[in-house]
Amino acid sequence: MTISLDLHMYLGLSAMLFCIGVAGVLTRRNVIVVFMCIELMLNSVNLSLAAFSSQLGDPTGQVLVFLVMAVAAAEAAVGLAIVIALFRNKQTVNINDINILKW
């Protein structure tokens, strides 16, 4: 049996990258690193959307990747502005110290 490149391999890689992103969000304490892990998760989902697009022969998946990238750019701008505002007020980016919304 010869192995050929197919949808399942892309989905497996995407699952691994997504889990790495989840691990980073749950274990890291630096808010910017948490933010970068969210970007990694968005990217892994983009990869599986692109693979589905090739599998089904339909450009919709690629249009969705394009829109996800637009949302990620908006998220990056707003998220980093929030980080700057937080750092100006609390002098820290450690999420253990940012707990004023915690009950």
Q: Which of residues 28-47 bind other proteins (CB under 8 A)?
A: 28-30, 32-33, 35-37, 39-40, 43, 46-47
Quick one: tokens of 45?
């989902």
Contact of 31 with 95, CB cutoff 8 Å: yes
Phi, psi of 101 (to 5 degrees): -90, 0
Q: Is 21 in the site for other proteins (CB under 8 A)?
A: yes
User: Among 38, 45, 67, 103, which residue interacts with other proteins (rule: CB under 8 A)?
Assistant: 67
DSSP state of 58: -
**CA distances for 86 relative to 56, 83, 103, angstroms:** 45, 5, 19
If binding is defined by CB under 8 A, does position 48 make contact with other proteins?
no
- Write down the H helix ranges in 28-98: 31-56, 60-90
CB of 100 to other proteins, least distance (A): 17
Looking at the Cβ atoms of 88 and 103, the one nearer to other proteins is 88
Q: Which is nearer to other proteins, 36 or 98 (CB)?
A: 36
List binders of other proteins among 70-99 (CB under 8 A): 70-78, 80-85, 87-88, 93-94
